Amino acid sequence: MRLGILSVFGALLLPALVSAQLSGHVGPTTTRDAKRSKKVCNVLDYGGVASKTSDIGPPIASAFAACKTGGTVYIPPGDYGMSTWVSLNSGTGWALQLDGIIYRVGTDGGNMIVIDKGSDFEMYSSTSKGAIQAYGYVFHADQKYGARILRLDSVKDFSIHDIALVDAPAFHLVLDTCSNGELYNMIIRGGNEGGLDGIDIWGSNIHVHDVEVSNKDECVTVKSPASNMLIENIYCNWSGGCAMGSLGSGTDISNIIYRNIYTANSNQMYMLKSNGGSGTVKNCQFSNFIGHSNAYTLDLNAFWSSEKVQTGSGVQYSNITFDNWKGTCSDGTKRAPMNVICPADVPCTGITITDFEVWTESGSSVLWKCENAFGTGGCLDSGDVKTYSAVSTIKAAPSGYNIPKMADDLTSLPLTESIPIPPIPTTFFPGATPATTLLGTR
């Protein structure tokens, strides 16, 4: 009996110990079963009709009103249209079980689904087949944008998993000022242009793992303010790539780890982006990155010209480690795979680059560019010279660059025709097994 209690404690404590990066428990505080046994609010009992031309918005809002103090809003398998967007406010101890597929019908801007405030929330599909198909291509074919799909605003103790978000007219998933959250076993697939962000996050204590994003813009990106985030086993399969930013005045980011990040056919493997601004980015690690056919690779750019100059003499980057980066970039002289560019007035300090083995797919050399960046490795300066600029030309392929690709890297993404809903993958990084089995295959 005593041992039983100890092992229960052991099981609860283990994830916290393994992920020291996080500052505490992540995810809902009560189980799916507990929520279902408290109450099930099936949208079909609140006016919902399983038809692609119905409007599931009002039935979701009514089912939520009946279950918001504890229970499960259930969308059974089937196809549902959605023309009225919903904002589900201040729910506690509730779940949104999306076993059906919601198809966007309405053309309003804004967000199709907002979860606002509240705590102990779980959004999932028990079959791993639930999805939101937002048919963004209808807008994109006309050079327009439309609604974002899903936004959580100031939600605590939550998870989202086992669902697909497809073809957003604008962003796919935003976590605004959320805490103690977990995202996993998800696929996001959007059109091939900017402005269709995959996952944008700010807040604290969030674990993102086992996620694939295709969209030609942000893959999994952290914005300010943010602290204590662990982002791992991410597959950017034809995307913009993962990033931090854009950063401006009063930036406050610390204790962020990205690891096991696989990026193919993207703009970058990782970019930290600012232009002027103030505040700090500190105590971050970027480990075990693999990439192929990306334009940029490791890019810390404090003069990022796509952002207009922000008030302040520069964001202070300090104590940042890049370790074990492998693979190839598209053209290593056109865009330096190592690019660490900091202002002379606000130099980057405590930067470490180790085991950086990235080669080029065209030409026979790569450039490493550093400016006012201090620390160890690569073209960083280990001294305390106030101002410097260095470009190294690397002419020999590093021994470890030739690293396996994922089996099925995307080679194109449509913009003017519908994007099919993909199944959720069962691997997101070469050799890595997702931490949690898909619910639909248990």
Which residues have a Cβ under 8 Å from the Cβ of 255 and sit 6 or more positions away?
21, 23, 227, 228, 229, 283, 284
- For the question of residue 292 being annotated catalytic, the response is yes
**Amino acid at the residue 76:** P
Stretch that binds ligand NAG, among 52-60, 175-183, 190-198, 401-409 (CB under 6 A): 401-409
In the bound state with ligand NAG, the residue whose beta carbon lies nearer, of 73 and 284, is 284
Q: Applying CB under 6 A, which of residues 283, 297, 328, 339 lies at the interface with ligand NAG?
A: 283
CB-CB contact of 422 with 164 (8 Å): yes
Which of 217, 299, 323, 331 is an active site residue? 217
Rounded to a whole number of angstroms, the minimum distance from the CB of residue 256 to ligand NAG is 8
Q: How far apart are CA 69 and CA 64, in angstroms?
A: 9
User: In terms of C-beta density within 10 A (0-12 exposed, 13-18 middle, 19 or more buried), how is residue 228 classed?
Assistant: buried
Q: What mask, x for binding ligand NAG by CB under 6 A, covers residues 199 to 238?
A: -------------x------------------------x-
Q: How far apart are CA 190 and CA 337, in angstroms?
A: 26
Which of 292, 384, 408, 409 is an active site residue? 292
In the bound state with ligand NAG, the residue whose beta carbon lies nearer, of 84 and 352, is 352
**Binding flag, residue 425, ligand NAG (CB under 6 A):** yes
- For the question of residue 172 being annotated catalytic, the response is no
Using CA of residue 136, residue 139, residue 143, residue 148, what is the dihedral sign?
Answer: negative
Q: What mask, x for binding ligand NAG by CB under 6 A, covers residues 313 to 352?
A: ------x---------------------------------
76: preceding bond cis by omega (within 30 degrees): no
Q: How far apart are CA 153 and CA 163, in angstroms?
A: 19
Rounded to a whole number of angstroms, the minimum distance from the CB of residue 407 to ligand NAG is 6
**3-class DSSP state for residue 441?**
helix
Tokens of 182: 């977990």
**Binding flag, residue 266, ligand NAG (CB under 6 A):** no
Q: Applying CB under 6 A, which of residues 3, 4, 143, 408 lies at the interface with ligand NAG?
A: 408
Residue ranges that bind ligand NAG, judged by CB under 6 A: 212, 237, 283-285, 319, 406, 408-410, 425
Give the active site residues.
Answer: 217, 292
